[in-house]
Amino acid sequence: MAQLKGQAGGGRGAAIGFRLLALLVGIYFVSNGVQKSAWFTDSSLLAERLNAWVQNAAPGVRWYIETVARPGVPLFARLLPLVELSTGAALILGFWTRLAAALAFLMVVNLHFARGSFYEWAFLIDGAGLPVLGSLLALALGGSRLPLSVSKS
């Protein structure tokens, strides 16, 4: 099947578009990681967020926070900013873009679930919601062999 000029998935324009998307989403993740850098030394900051989220949480979310997130606060408080910084750097540099985007997608879904965002209409207009998830999914599916990338896989 012949591709149309400028069609998504083909051509230099699409590759440059994906590369710019990876760069901008990478900057977003580095910024989030820097904002959470205090969590490396003070895990109570994450614990406070979880305590706020669990107050009005749906039953499934409440179970998740109480069973998975709270017991793991000392680990997650250090892991989350580290993953955000690493993912951001990988996307900016174009290093394993598809893998970094796929892992970041799972992390963002996890965070939105823990916040209970999927149960709120506001999620549909939250700039950190669908636009970030959509960008990460697009990069995970089509972000290989991008120009100006460290790796071409």
* Digit-coded pLDDT (tens) for 108-142: 999 999 999 998 898 899 899 999 999 999 999 98
User: Could you give the angle at the alpha carbon of 4 between the alpha carbons of 100 and 16, nearest 5°?
Assistant: 35
Going by C-beta distance under 8 Å and a sequence separation of 6 or more, which residues neighbour residue 21?
135, 138, 139, 143
44 pLDDT tier (thresholds 50, 70, 90): very high
pLDDT over threshold 70, residue 3: no
* Distance (Å, whole) CA 75 – CA 83: 12
* pLDDT for the residue numbered 48: 97
Q: Residues 18-42: what's their mean pLDDT?
A: 97
Instruction: Report pTM.
Output: 0.86
Q: What integer pLDDT is reported at residue 11 of this predicted model? A: 78
Contact 45, 77 (CB under 8 A): yes
Nearest Cα neighbor of 104 from 136, 135, 128 is 136
Alpha-carbon span 14 to 6, nearest angstrom: 7
Mean pLDDT of all residues in the chain?
90
User: How is residue 32 written in tokens?
Assistant: 């989030």
Neighbours of 94 (CB within 10 A): 22
Model pLDDT, residue 153: 55
Q: Give the C-alpha separation, 37 to 80, whole Å.
A: 9
pLDDT of residue 58: 93
> Between vectors from CA 93 to CA 98 and to CA 13, what angle results, nearest 5°?
70
